[in-house]
A and B are shown apart, each in its own frame.
Chain A
């Protein structure tokens, strides 16, 4: 048992030497309070003597006050951290517990088991190598058992301990134990585990926890602690190809340029040939630099700094890999996603994806299906709500370097961040890339955007007209295009209504469809800009976030927002298409200005007031502004 070693008293130096050789294991416990989960962890802490006298005194008094064991020590009370949770008698977050034996140090992620805490369990499982799945021997495999197993396998845990608890309450009946184990193995066949170790237990009585129980003579396997002390997990990462996600470029002076990061998998030696995934540049490892001296070899898990033989361009977010075993490099991939926020996922909406040191804007472009976490059934769905799991295609603004998560658990994992609230709203694991960008480089054309625009004697930009329905967007845009055409400029107009007849005719007016509508128009405008054309877009685009999305697709100085600022009363009075009348009569839902808001632009490049000036005057004002912005003059780009 833990720290029982007489070495502490007799030979502390010998003890310390032995302690230096200990390894570390992270595991998660899955189950509910009813399964005896807190009791199980409490007993492990207790038996490893990590409960101190003062904590014991507090535990004894708490057990008398609020315990559930009739005044006897209630181990579960050791674990509930936050006051509010103690009062509710339930743990609602991820808590980390620590204990150690002479062989290993353990970190236990303790998470609640109810369905509404799926995100907490996923969080705890993300760093765990082993999952202890608790089963009440009286009840056998329940819905929650399947859910817990699914979540742990989703997060890539390969080693399972099936802790069949409360054996004392079924008289240590072997046949019942065997039945549960057989049923579990049949279910778990679809979950991609490498090992399942089933142990008959009573956490409360201590059977097979630390010492083999006399009550289960028919069981010849390891005790829970013996298994946790010996299960091998470390080689999993070391045997994968070398990956070093660069966190930090270390440049104390002109003579030293190092690339710092933690080896996420594999091993590396000086002389190894490496490639920078994104740029394809190669070099050889010169030294592996650490505070404790240069290393002959570094393995997965070590935080190191590499210097290279050649001066090549590497920055934070780059992934270094062996030349012959590169990761995927793609801007589109399929991933499984766990949604972790009350605001549900909106396909098409821009989010931020953070994958190691790689950060990029991304859209979940297509939710293929959801997975029912209790039954593992595939369900159709347009969105993911809190605690739901789904399979989706994701497209990113920048290509990312990754391995499929199932091939390498230390790669291909990411968090999803809301661009506006900065909340972590989801987490994902890459299934596979959708385009083999590994082998396809962006084709750099000799004739580029700058060359095309130069030939036309202009700078290509997007003129984005926004304003209420009837504000005069199309009228003004039409006049602007005529004036530009007369000046010999090359133009094209994308009109909101017209686009809905063709490119976007499959889209309706739900939030998700509006976002997709804007995205397609924005992408189309981007292509026209690339072709060197001054592109006019006339779109109500009532939401700031939508306009921001369109703006983010092109270069900073290529987006000119034109706000046609016509008051609602004036638009409604004009009512050219008779739409306001219908909207007032309730015949049109979500009509901007009437039943749906219009968010005024705050920093539009051009603001046009059509109440004080004619459409003709407005068009002149806009052309004058374009002149001022250098769009119309001879422009000397970097060809």
Chain B
């Protein structure tokens, strides 16, 4: 008897199905490329979906100007290697106003440089569908997110008024100006992502692997001093520690964990033996209870 598909192969096939549906149903799809591990998996799946053709849509990176330098290097290297069409969008208005996480706090910075910037980019290029790498297991508010998530003309998400989604049939009808966010890896867990990266040998940003890096401890989080824009408090001195990141974003807002895990199996092993969920390293969730749900309603991914 033919062996059945393993869980990773089933997840992979489901994601490819979704990616093809979006490409076939919308006029101007785009893939949001955040450079993180989930984005790396998403890109890999998109390449599989259309092989031997390249993915029939561009990738867009919403650059807050505060990403880790290694992320930007990785992004540009991948774009060159795979030859994908990469759009980099920066909220120039935010840059002119000098918005940054140190001066304006995480909440305003994320609002202006990420959420607002994303909306700007979607409006500018008139994208009617945007792929994101969100997973339902990341956070409670996301457990009920649809695969095709409808957004109004102002990019708002209405959790009370979502379209029912049955089987693998997605309602792709929208009016002009409206759009959808599509989440092809909704049903993957963090462990699935890591196992798949390992199985398929997908390149990821080296920051996920442990190395000696300069960090300071703030509010219980280890923040890496990635460039000289980071103001040090009196008495603060960067220390070289063996750290790695479980999630990547703006370096001032992303906590490192002390770790010796320098290979993929080490990372997976560490993940299974330690017990704290990956979003804990993101400051955005700590601001207030239900904050993710609020951010999502406003248009954050």
In the complex the two chains form, is A8's CB within 8 Å of B272's CB? yes
Known A260-B49, A289-B51, A415-B166: A81·B277 in contact at CB below 8 Å: no
In the complex the two chains form, is A256's CB within 8 Å of B52's CB? yes
Q: Restricting to A251-301, which residues have a CB under 8 Å from any CB of B?
A: 251-252, 256, 258, 260-262, 267, 289-292, 297, 299, 301
In the complex the two chains form, is A9's CB within 8 Å of B21's CB? no
In the bound complex, how far is the Cα of B174 from the Cα of A355, in angstroms? 18
In the complex the two chains form, is A81's CB within 8 Å of B143's CB? yes
In the complex the two chains form, is B2's CB within 8 Å of A247's CB? no
In the bound complex, how far is the Cα of B9 from the Cα of A105, in angstroms? 12
**Shortest Cβ-Cβ A-B pairs, 10 listed:** A252-B53, A24-B7, A303-B16, A126-B166, A291-B51, A52-B277, A291-B48, A422-B173, A234-B4, A105-B7
Shortest B260–chain A CB gap in Å is 13
Q: In this assembly, does B191 line the interface, its C-beta being within 8 Å of a C-beta of chain A?
A: yes
Q: Restricting to B186-228, which residues have a CB under 8 Å from any CB of A?
A: 186-187, 189, 191-192, 195, 198-199
Known A80-B140, A97-B143, A260-B20: A290·B48 in contact at CB below 8 Å: yes
In the complex the two chains form, is B144's CB within 8 Å of A93's CB? yes
In the complex the two chains form, is A250's CB within 8 Å of B53's CB? yes
Q: In this assembly, does B28 line the interface, its C-beta being within 8 Å of a C-beta of chain A?
A: no
Interface 0/1 of B149-193, CB less than 8 Å to A: 000000000011011111111010111000000000011010110
Q: What residues of B have a CB within 8 angstroms of the CB of A427 in the complex?
A: 164, 166
In the bound complex, how far is the Cα of B277 from the Cα of A16, in angstroms? 20
Q: What residues of B have a CB within 8 angstroms of the CB of A56 in the complex?
A: 275
In the bound complex, how far is the Cα of B52 from the Cα of A413, in angstroms? 31
In the complex the two chains form, is B2's CB within 8 Å of A297's CB? yes
In the complex the two chains form, is B5's CB within 8 Å of A299's CB? yes
Q: What residues of A have a CB within 8 angstroms of the CB of B171 in the complex?
A: 354, 415, 417, 422, 424
Q: Restricting to A297-330, which residues have a CB under 8 Å from any CB of B?
A: 297, 299, 301-303, 305, 316
In the complex the two chains form, is B140's CB within 8 Å of A8's CB? no
Shortest B258–chain A CB gap in Å is 16
CB contact between B175 and one of A234, A267, A355, A422 (< 8 Å): that residue:
A422
Q: What residues of B have a CB within 8 angstroms of the CB of A297 in the complex?
A: 2
Q: In this assembly, does B265 line the interface, its C-beta being within 8 Å of a C-beta of chain A?
A: yes
Q: In this assembly, does A119 line the interface, its C-beta being within 8 Å of a C-beta of chain B?
A: yes
CB contact between A302 and one of B5, B137, B187 (< 8 Å): that residue:
B5
In the bound complex, how far is the Cα of B54 from the Cα of A440, in angstroms? 41
Q: What residues of A have a CB within 8 angstroms of the CB of B265 in the complex?
A: 12-13, 16
Known A20-B195, A234-B4, A303-B17: A54·B276 in contact at CB below 8 Å: yes
In the bound complex, how far is the Cα of B10 from the Cα of A122, in angstroms? 22
Q: In this assembly, does A238 line the interface, its C-beta being within 8 Å of a C-beta of chain B?
A: yes
In the complex the two chains form, is B10's CB within 8 Å of A301's CB? yes
Closest chain A residue, CB of each to CB of B280:
A54
Q: In this assembly, does A340 line the interface, its C-beta being within 8 Å of a C-beta of chain B?
A: yes
In the bound complex, how far is the Cα of B81 from the Cα of A493, in angstroms? 68
Q: In this assembly, does B295 line the interface, its C-beta being within 8 Å of a C-beta of chain A?
A: no
Known A291-B47, A424-B164: A54·B277 in contact at CB below 8 Å: yes
In the complex the two chains form, is A21's CB within 8 Å of B6's CB? yes
Closest chain B residue, CB of each to CB of A263:
B13
Shortest A240–chain B CB gap in Å is 14
Shortest B47–chain A CB gap in Å is 6
Q: In this assembly, does B88 line the interface, its C-beta being within 8 Å of a C-beta of chain A?
A: no
In the complex the two chains form, is B198's CB within 8 Å of A16's CB? yes
List, sorted by A's number, 26 A–B pairs whose CB atoms are closer than 8 Å.
A8-B269, A9-B269, A16-B195, A16-B265, A20-B199, A23-B7, A23-B10, A52-B277, A81-B142, A93-B144, A93-B162, A95-B144, A96-B143, A96-B186, A127-B167, A234-B5, A248-B24, A250-B52, A260-B20, A262-B17, A289-B52, A290-B51, A299-B5, A303-B20, A357-B24, A414-B169
Shortest B32–chain A CB gap in Å is 21
Shortest B29–chain A CB gap in Å is 12
Q: In this assembly, does A219 line the interface, its C-beta being within 8 Å of a C-beta of chain B?
A: no
Contact-residue bracket for chain B: 35 or more
Q: What residues of A have a CB within 8 angstroms of the CB of B164 in the complex?
A: 119-120, 122-123, 340, 415, 424, 427
Closest chain A residue, CB of each to CB of B146:
A94
Closest chain B residue, CB of each to CB of A354:
B169
In the bound complex, how far is the Cα of B189 from the Cα of A22, in angstroms? 14
In the bound complex, how far is the Cα of B12 from the Cα of A302, in angstroms? 9
Q: In this assembly, does A603 line the interface, its C-beta being within 8 Å of a C-beta of chain B?
A: no
In the bound complex, how far is the Cα of B191 from the Cα of A100, in angstroms? 10
In the bound complex, how far is the Cα of B274 from the Cα of A56, in angstroms? 13
Shortest B45–chain A CB gap in Å is 9
CB contact between B293 and one of A83, A289, A340 (< 8 Å): that residue:
A83
Chain B residues with CB under 8 Å of chain A are 2, 4-13, 16-17, 20-21, 23-24, 47-54, 136-137, 140-144, 159-160, 162-169, 171, 173-175, 186-187, 189, 191-192, 195, 198-199, 265-266, 268-269, 272-273, 275-277, 280, 289-290, 293
In the bound complex, how far is the Cα of B167 from the Cα of A191, in angstroms? 21
In the complex the two chains form, is A355's CB within 8 Å of B169's CB? yes
Q: In this assembly, does A104 line the interface, its C-beta being within 8 Å of a C-beta of chain B?
A: yes
- Tally of chain A residues near chain B (CB < 8 A): 81
In the bound complex, how far is the Cα of B199 from the Cα of A518, in angstroms? 60
Q: What residues of B have a CB within 8 angstroms of the CB of A68 in the complex?
A: none
Q: What residues of A have a CB within 8 angstroms of the CB of B195 in the complex?
A: 16, 19-20
Interface 0/1 of A121-134, CB less than 8 Å to B: 01100110000000
In the complex the two chains form, is A81's CB within 8 Å of B24's CB? no
In the bound complex, how far is the Cα of B6 from the Cα of A297, in angstroms? 16
Q: In this assembly, does A49 line the interface, its C-beta being within 8 Å of a C-beta of chain B?
A: yes
Interface 0/1 of A218-244, CB less than 8 Å to B: 000000000000000011001000000
Q: What residues of A have a CB within 8 angstroms of the CB of B275 in the complex?
A: 49, 51-53, 56
Most buried by B among A13, A24, A122, A423: A24
In the bound complex, how far is the Cα of B24 from the Cα of A132, in angstroms? 36
Q: What residues of B have a CB within 8 angstroms of the CB of A126 in the complex?
A: 166-167
Known A54-B277, A297-B2, A355-B169: A81·B144 in contact at CB below 8 Å: yes
Q: In this assembly, does A158 line the interface, its C-beta being within 8 Å of a C-beta of chain B?
A: no
Closest chain B residue, CB of each to CB of A52:
B277
Q: What residues of B have a CB within 8 angstroms of the CB of A354 in the complex?
A: 169, 171
In the bound complex, how far is the Cα of B198 from the Cα of A354, in angstroms? 37
Q: What residues of A have a CB within 8 angstroms of the CB of B21 in the complex?
A: 247
Most buried by B among A8, A9, A248, A414: A248
A-B contacts besides A13-B265, A100-B189, A291-B47, 14 pairs, CB < 8 Å: A23-B10, A24-B5, A81-B143, A83-B290, A96-B144, A100-B7, A107-B187, A250-B52, A256-B52, A303-B13, A355-B169, A413-B166, A414-B169, A415-B166
In the complex the two chains form, is A238's CB within 8 Å of B159's CB? no
In the complex the two chains form, is A415's CB within 8 Å of B143's CB? no
Q: In this assembly, does A507 line the interface, its C-beta being within 8 Å of a C-beta of chain B?
A: no
Q: What residues of A have a CB within 8 angstroms of the CB of B175 in the complex?
A: 422
Q: In this assembly, does A3 line the interface, its C-beta being within 8 Å of a C-beta of chain B?
A: yes
Shortest A257–chain B CB gap in Å is 11
Q: What residues of A have a CB within 8 angstroms of the CB of B268 in the complex?
A: 12, 16
In the bound complex, how far is the Cα of B2 from the Cα of A107, in angstroms? 24
Q: What residues of B have a CB within 8 angstroms of the CB of A260 in the complex?
A: 20, 49-50
CB contact between B17 and one of A105, A247, A258 (< 8 Å): that residue:
A247
CB contact between B189 and one of A20, A98, A119 (< 8 Å): that residue:
A98
In the bound complex, how far is the Cα of B12 from the Cα of A639, in angstroms? 50
In the bound complex, how far is the Cα of B54 from the Cα of A161, in angstroms? 45
